[in-house]
Structure 1
């Protein structure tokens, strides 16, 4: 069962309303759309069946809420509409913080789609990040409380704009392609078509001492010239190609060097990567 522009229009209305109301009355949704009431009601049932929205029956009204799958579909629809992706290939990773899919662009390039997620324990951590402070400031101007800030969207903004800044300065990060809501599209780093390169933790290095020096130097240059601290740097966040080239990934918790705890985070980042090389290679 595929979605079309009517379904997308309904999802967009629900997405726009969700900042003010957990559930939107079906009557309110109908008022905002140029379709007959019966058409909208049938589509709401369809979207509920597809688990893109949740319908809740009240005494005199029907309430509707957009779900994670609905938000994902909106982002995918926009990426296709704007010529970023042709289609999605497969899921290649999933955790508490994000879900990763591979995709193909209209020019047949391999891409990564990173769908940022929210879980309660992460809230305090994300409050330190680059975009969050700006979003929070804007929220204060609009008198929006912390709990109303869209955390997955904030994380995606942090990651996209951090990577964009660093990539444009020539640092070793994947090229960011586009941003939509809570989803970042970026180039895939790979050795074999459609299969992402391995993480540092999973490769056997021929010259670990040289690789350690190159990675540490790149990190320090990012701090000094890029004015960014990764904030969660480790062997889990470096991809290594078979030719020895490497890329630093996962930037949603990045902070500017002006952040009050930036120096502390920098020391922890360096300790993490140096401890890895010491334990695995004794260098």
Structure 2
């Protein structure tokens, strides 16, 4: 059984006190790598005897890591227990009511079909940032540089929060971007994404037109949304059968007033130009277009 399905099952099976204990560990992990039981009891607002019972139960179920080599017994959330907390919150908030099949997997996220309370299908994107990915994600490094220790669960949460914020800013621009429905911890709920990665499309019927559509979206998002993607390339550009374009994966975005805005924008444009030149012999005047955007 996939981890997220096991987590969804546990959401239905766990008691309210179990969720409070998991939340207590989450709060304690701001200060401790492994949270002592007395701190968990304090954060969960549950007596120590009850906390101990719940911790043993959760540990036996395999969703907690326990360490007794620290001079005390400490507990730490793992990715599955974080899934439980996020899914519990999203269902309690009536953002989603069910999780279905895996429909996409990348280096830093998994995407599942989910269902809204209306019965409509949507996408549930679960950010899973590991140590290797973290080294490459400049924005997340900047967020946490002053913290003494860092949980990869927290880094994944930052990634999801950043993407959700970007999607909310982009949605009113009507540029065929996913509609954001909700976010909790490392999970983002959005409308289903249509299309295929442009890197895997065998042949475009009109590559120049597709390139123009991409540049048009970049311009609208830059001018009206004040957003730069900062990680744009052929792996996060989707193309439909009708050759409509959708830009996805926004956790690394920056504002257009960022001190390094020019270099981020230039890198995005370079990636697009290189891809189209290499695969289709089509390109645009990058320097001219860059100056055009910067003057908007």
TM-score scaled by structure 2? Answer: 0.80
Q: Report the equivalent of 2:193.
A: 189
Question: Secondary structure of 1:128's match?
Answer: helix
Pick the aligned partner of 2:52 from 41, 44, 47: 41
Stretch deviating more after TM superposition (147-156 or 63-72)? 147-156
Alignment check: 8 A CA contact 2:33 2:149 kept:
no
Q: Report the equivalent of 1:193.
A: none
Pick the aligned partner of 1:87 from 78, 93, 98: 98
Q: 1:33 to 1:166 in 2, by over 3 A?
A: closer
Q: Report the equivalent of 2:78.
A: 67
Question: Secondary structure of 1:145's match?
Answer: coil
Pick the aligned partner of 2:158 from 154, 172, 184: 154
State how 1:2-151 maps to structure 2 within 5 Å: 2-33=13-44, 37-57=48-68, 61-123=72-134, 125-128=136-139, 145=147, 147-148=149-150, 150-151=154-155
Question: Secondary structure of 1:93's match?
Answer: strand
Pick the aligned partner of 1:170 from 174, 181, 191: 174
Question: Secondary structure of 2:188's match?
Answer: strand
Q: How far does residue 255 in structure 1 lie from its aligned partner after superposition? A: 1.1
Q: Report the equivalent of 1:264.
A: 263
Q: How far does residue 31 in structure 1 lie from its aligned partner after superposition? A: 4.5
Alignment check: 8 A CA contact 2:173 2:220 kept:
no
Q: Report the equivalent of 1:202.
A: 200
Q: 1:282 to 1:47 in 2, by over 3 A?
A: same
Q: Report the equivalent of 2:241.
A: 242
Q: How many residues align?
A: 268
Q: How far does residue 25 in structure 1 lie from its aligned partner after superposition? A: 2.0
TM-score scaled by structure 1? Answer: 0.83
Q: 1:222 to 1:34 in 2, by over 3 A?
A: closer
